[in-house]
């Protein structure tokens, strides 16, 4: 896979969508659809407390909650929901460092996105609010109240009227971390004339891959404004190894010949499979030990009892002193919080939980950062794109069930060099994708400066 490009050169400025037949048809169709579907969507809104909560905000009826500009430059960052909001964390941190005097406002569409933003973005934004419905009058009122100097939209949130109103006011818009799936391409392709008009309003478009760039250009985006800069999700802030007492203990055991399998963030129904697979690995390599880290603290006692019923002597992490070493038990139960990073840093093999059972999986980037060969189950829905990239690159191994997990652990226990090669590929692949956030921060800073210098 091609490495993302460096920070792209300056692009052209956006322009206002002409009142074309496509744009006229979009608004006419939108109004007719809203009118005809009113008997369905009005009760749908009114009968739901959650939907009533953000409906007035998106209509622009509570704009007084958004403070007017206070003399500083203002950036409006928009992310539709939870995934985009989480990927915005390193971007906002970078913008705070790069543009410390600039106000940053943040919007979402969904209630869950708003809730996550309130928790995850504390201290990084000056105000969080809901994005407007894509109607000209509503979008115009929002922009007149917010008065941003630049709008940054994450992923591929394309709202024709909002972008037209930005262009009318000569507000630069940058699309960051964009992507266009095959399915989206087919949908957008049916409205290519409108898409061409809409994309002409965007000053700079940063997409995840060269394939995404080709697809956007095929929809009418100016080739001079579209660049592949990588995926910001690979820039999630991962805790460093650190020099903690626990990491020293684990590395000390490695120096004495131990080989650690770390099963991180496991859920109910997975520990049984992990323990059976661990037994298969121990038959191939008696130096292998297991560090078992359940996802939820409330299950520590039950997992400890499961280990004992399965015939494995187990010691709890909290019973291990910082100076006395780790007792010679084959299984260490991680009954502490915040030390999984130290465990991955010392691991020889990792299994990332929530994936053998349908829990959506957990993040594989942390073990990849440390070059740890990693195994996951088939349920990686919450990290589908990242898991797919690593699987295609033979940088993470996906197993379908506990039997396949046992087979892979036994194989790697018998051939550590083969396992290390998988970990090396994961570390190199992650390194090739990291850096998109910094490039996107520079794009925002550059377009903001161009706005300031514009006549």
* Cβ contact 105:77 at 8 Å: yes
- The tokens of 323 are what? 């100076």
Give Cα 135 distance to the centre of its chain. 29
Whole-angstrom distance, CA of residue 391 vs CA of residue 408: 15
pLDDT tens, N- to C-terminus, the chain (455 residues):
444 455 555 545 545 454 578 888 888 888 898 888 888 878 877 777 777 788 899 999 999 999 999 889 999 999 988 778 877 888 999 999 999 999 999 999 888 888 888 888 878 999 999 999 999 899 999 999 999 999 999 988 899 999 999 999 999 999 999 988 888 899 899 989 899 999 999 999 999 889 999 999 999 999 999 999 988 888 866 555 556 778 888 888 999 899 999 999 999 999 999 999 999 999 999 999 999 999 999 999 999 999 999 999 999 999 987 666 788 899 999 998 878 888 998 999 999 999 999 999 998 998 998 999 999 999 998 888 889 999 999 999 999 999 999 999 999 999 999 999 999 999 999 988 888 999 999 999 999 998 877 66
In sequence order, what E strands does 303-425 have?
Answer: 314-316, 331-333, 349-352, 374-376, 397-398
Q: What is the pTM of this model?
A: 0.72
Closest C-alpha among 135, 96, 129, 100 to residue 114: 129
* Cβ contact 291:263 at 8 Å: yes
Rg (CA), the chain: 25
Q: Which helix (H) or strand (E) holds 260?
A: strand 259-266
Domain boundaries, the chain: 21-33+54-230+435-453, 245-433
Same fold across 21-33+54-230+435-453 and 245-433? yes
Q: What is the CATH number that goes with domain 245-433?
A: 3.40.50.2000
Whole-angstrom distance, CA of residue 288 vs CA of residue 298: 27
Whole-angstrom distance, CA of residue 25 vs CA of residue 20: 8
Is 21-33+54-230+435-453 assigned to CATH 3.40.1640.10?
no
Residues involved in catalysis: 84
Whole-angstrom distance, CA of residue 293 vs CA of residue 281: 18
């Amino acid at each position: 896979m091609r490495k993302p490009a460096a920070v792209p050169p300056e692009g052209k400025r956006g322009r206002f969508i002409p009142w074309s037949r496509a744009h006229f048809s979009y608004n006419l169709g939108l109004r007719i659809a809203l009118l005809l579907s009113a008997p369905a969507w009005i009760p749908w809104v009114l009968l739901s407390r959650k939907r009533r909560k953000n409906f007035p905000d998106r209509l622009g009826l509570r704009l007084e909650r958004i403070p007017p500009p206070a003399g500083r430059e203002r950036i409006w960052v928009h992310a539709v929901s939870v995934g985009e909001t989480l990927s915005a964390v390193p971007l906002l941190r970078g913008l705070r460092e790069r543009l410390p005097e600039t106000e940053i406002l943040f919007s979402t569409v969904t209630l869950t996105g708003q809730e996550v933003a309130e928790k995850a973005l504390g201290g990084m934004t000056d105000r969080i609010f809901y994005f407007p419905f894509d109607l000209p009058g509503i979008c115009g009122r929002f922009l007149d109240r917010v008065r941003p100097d630049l709008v940054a939209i994450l992923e591929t949130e394309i709202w024709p009227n909002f972008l037209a109103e930005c262009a009318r006011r000569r507000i630069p818009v940058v699309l960051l971390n964009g992507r266009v799936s095959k399915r989206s391409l087919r949908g957008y392709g049916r409205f290519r004339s409108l898409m061409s008009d809409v994309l002409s309003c965007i000053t700079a478009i940063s997409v995840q891959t060269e394939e995404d760039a080709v697809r956007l250009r095929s929809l009418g985006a100016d080739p001079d404004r579209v660049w592949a800069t990588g995926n910001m999700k690979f820039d999630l802030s991962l805790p460093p190894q650190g020099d903690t007492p626990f990491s020293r203990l684990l590395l000390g055991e490695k120096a004495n010949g131990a080989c650690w399998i770390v099963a991180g963030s496991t859920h109910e129904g997975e520990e049984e499979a992990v323990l059976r697979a661990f037994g298969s690995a121990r038959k191939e390599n008696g130096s292998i030990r297991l560090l078992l880290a359940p996802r939820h603290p409330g299950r520590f006692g039950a997992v400890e009892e499961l280990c004992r019923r399965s015939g494995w002597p187990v010691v709890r992490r909290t019973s291990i002193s910082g100076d006395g070493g780790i007792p010679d038990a084959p299984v260490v139960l991680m009954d502490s919080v915040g030390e999984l990073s130290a465990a991955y840093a010392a691991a020889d093999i990792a299994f990332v939980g929530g994936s053998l059972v349908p829990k959506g999986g957990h993040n594989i980037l942390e073990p990849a950062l440390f070059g740890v060969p990693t195994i996951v189950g088939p349920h990686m829905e919450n990290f589908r794109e990242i898991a797919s990239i690593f699987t295609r690159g033979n940088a993470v191994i996906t197993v379908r069930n506990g039997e396949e997990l046992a087979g892979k652990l036994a194989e790697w226990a018998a051939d550590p060099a083969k396992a290390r090669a998988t970990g090396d590929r994961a570390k190199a692949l992650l390194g090739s994708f990291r850096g998109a956030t910094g490039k996107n921060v520079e794009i925002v800073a550059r377009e903001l400066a161009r706005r300031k210098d514009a006549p």
